[in-house]
Chain A
Amino acid sequence: MSDVPLDLVAATKRYRDKIVLDELNLTVPAGSVVGLLGKNGSGKTTLIKAALGLVKLDLGSARVFDQPAWHMDADAKSRLGYVPQVVNLYAWMRVRQTIEYIAAFYPRWNWSLIDRLLTEWELNPRERVGTLSVGQLQKLGILVALGHEPDLLVLDEPAASLDPIARRDFLKALLEIAADGNRTVLFSTHITSDLERVADRVAILRNGKITYHGELDELKENVKRLHVTAKNPLTGSFNVPGAVRLRVEGNEALVSVKDASGEVIDRIRADYEASVTVEDLNLEEIFLEMHYD
């Protein structure tokens, strides 16, 4: 399984005069769980749709398992699972019928997994899809994307309308899938705590570009907020390389840096005769810092 599950190169997509994806590059390595973060309207859904060939790129390329996304063959598609943001299923069908209808398209289907999840997630197979609540519908949407045990699972805000219990169940199912290390998961979300649990990588989408893509741990280890207290007033003169956000007031400064290595901190201490305290930031705070203009 050496092929790259998902690869976007210089992907550009315009809607009228709005650039949604701007020469965006993103390679999702095999076996990783990538969380895609971005604020509302940042183009997460467009990115996912373009990556799956549901939307046509103006420029650049989108490839799934080394095949152009627009022209995936049966083999690539049978290795792909997708849960859209708004789960759309046929309202009149029963839950069981829906699963059987979708299962029939695939060469293999893990019925024991699906039967187990149906019970665990408390979905009644006899119920009409139309009468399911939004959360249940989302569960069903996730369920039908898992049955063929895809090598690549793409989820667009899958947990948005799930209650805390259902979300935990869903995360566990997701982890189960990721457990064997061969499966790749890409999911967009703005619930950062979910992402922190399950993702090993994070990609941050901003202004049509991926502004960060790498290991989540690395991000947390590198991005720190520094509390600087100097002897002399810092106003006007204070500057730190790799600063994401900088606030100065008198001889105190609050600076968030991309790479809080010992070197950087020592430099600040030496240059400004200051004491520096390092504050750890969680993903939500990092995300906020990165979106601060």
Chain B
Amino acid sequence: MAALLGFIVSPNSGVPIYRQIVEQIRAQVAGGRLEEGVFLPSVRQVAEELAVNPMTISKAYSILEREGTVELIRGQGMRVKDPGPAGNGKARKQALMPLLQQVALTARLLNLSPQQVISALKPLLEDKS
């Protein structure tokens, strides 16, 4: 069973908590931090740790199950499935989308052109330190 995954949940963000969790698990699975066969912590554990409604966690888990990121093993919990090479890339891109949207919004407010944003992003992406 995986340790508590270090979810970062901010209840007073505009993004519903279940979506925050879904996106974080997706990202961790896609990025390989959560490997195939690892069990997610139980709904109860996460709910208690984050002090959020357990229904929210189970909602997130069932979405992940439906889309095939995890599978329910009776009596044991949610197990991470193999993301596969194709789904892998798509999922990873998906996970980045909300952040990119935020960047786009701020860039627009700052009156930055797309070229300016991309050129600013590039060194950050290439930075290996």
Contact = CB atoms under 8 A, between A and B. Distances in A.
The answer to A–B direct touch (Cβ < 8 A) is: yes
Interface of A: 33, 168, 171-172, 175, 178-179, 181, 192-193, 196-200, 216-217, 220-221, 224, 227, 229, 275, 277-285
- Residue among B12, B14, B48 with the highest chain A CB neighbour number at 10 A: B14
B37 interface: no
Nearest to A220: B16
Nearest to A223: B14
State which size class the interface on B falls in: 20 to 34
A190 to B, nearest CB: 13
Given A198-B51, A216-B16, A282-B12, 14 more contacts: A172-B48, A175-B47, A179-B47, A179-B54, A192-B12, A196-B11, A197-B17, A198-B52, A217-B56, A217-B59, A227-B105, A277-B104, A278-B105, A279-B105
Contact of A283 (B12, B18, B48, B109): B12
B15 interface: yes
B76 interface: no
Interface in B1-39: 11-19
B55 A285 contact: no
Given A196-B11, A220-B14, A280-B15, A175 B108 contact: no
Contact of B105 (A216, A277, A283): A277
A277 B52 contact: no
Interface of B: 11-19, 44, 47-48, 51-56, 59, 101, 104-105, 108-109
Contacts of A197: 11, 17, 51-53
11 contacts: A33-B55, A172-B48, A175-B51, A196-B11, A198-B52, A199-B53, A200-B55, A227-B105, A277-B104, A277-B105, A282-B12
Nearest to B16: A217
B54 A175 contact: yes
Contacts of A277: 101, 104-105, 108
